[in-house]
A = this chain, B = another copy of it.
């Protein structure tokens, strides 16, 4: 049964629904829960919004975010749990498990691939770029009109899960729905600035220093940067500013494998790998006792920085040269 109408019906009947997104909430999860929650309040329902994990600072601008209860579920005579943007019980978070175990009816609304969603009522639409798109249809079914607060939440859901309409999941319907949201007065550039736009000055100072170490292999397919503790310190930066820097070598035209060497202390160097299309960097990181995903991985090797770099690059070039098992770009 994959029926949005049935989900709408059970939600319509509920008087005291409990709404939640998934653990480690993102823009789609939060925006979708908040839009639905604010909408159901307008129908006179007693809505409780919970999140197992804290709301990232980035999303503190979302209308209604102050009503989200974090980390626990208050006592209450709930008559329905609405699980939004996930469909496996693993992503419920511990506080909510007990309610499900005790037989609270569950309605699931999601866009992630899952043939066996865990709700009593389920609606999973994998073609939706964001769960926010489905929530818009649900609000229509419930005859809840959009307003600016709902639109900001739904816009955030869509813009984050599509990477600002750039990912493959973006469809004609995504844009048609976004057109409706903008009619409510969504302040596009302000939200874009909140979500994508702002960088601390220290990050640019660190970037400048990091770019000074950028090297590219003769073949043009491997690019790397090295970040010493001294560089981080004199830029006034910290660990959180280093994470995204690997995107700079990764984005270079023709580069397949990007590496960042980061000095942790005199003995240890953190090595991050990213590949674009072909190299299995999980396999590569495993050679140094690390791991991760096919396109993003990491490991920690012995320092000092220059020695670690030399060791890893030698191995990487060999890995490229082998290229016998589809790892060669």
Residues of A within 8 A of B (CB): 159, 163-168, 170-176, 178-180, 182-183, 188-190, 192-193, 196-201, 204-205, 207-208, 211-212, 214, 216, 223, 248, 251-253, 276-277, 295
Contacts and interface: CB of A to CB of B under 8 A. Distances in A.
DSSP class of A's interface residues: helix, strand, loop or mixed? Answer: helix
20 contacts: A164-B165, A166-B189, A167-B189, A168-B189, A170-B182, A171-B182, A172-B183, A174-B179, A175-B179, A175-B182, A176-B179, A179-B179, A189-B276, A189-B277, A197-B251, A200-B253, A201-B216, A201-B253, A205-B211, A208-B214
Closest 8 interchain pairs by CB?
A166-B192, A208-B211, A175-B179, A168-B189, A172-B182, A176-B179, A198-B253, A175-B178
Given A165-B165, A167-B189, A193-B276, 16 more contacts: A165-B178, A165-B188, A166-B192, A166-B197, A170-B188, A171-B182, A172-B182, A172-B183, A173-B179, A174-B179, A175-B176, A198-B253, A199-B252, A200-B253, A201-B223, A204-B248
A192 B277 CA distance: 12
A253 B205 CA distance: 13
A251 B212 contact: no
Contacts of A207: 207, 211
A159 B180 CA distance: 19
Nearest to A248: B204
Contact of A252 (B164, B204, B253, B276): B204
B188 A180 contact: no
Nearest to A172: B182
A248 B168 CA distance: 26
B201 A208 contact: no
A171 B188 CA distance: 8
Among A167, A176, A190, A212, residue most surrounded by chain B Cβ atoms (within 10 Å)? A176
A198 B252 contact: yes
A277 B196 contact: no
Nearest to A175: B179
A252 B179 contact: no
A160 to B, nearest CB: 12
Nearest to A183: B172
A295 B208 CA distance: 26
A220 to B, nearest CB: 8
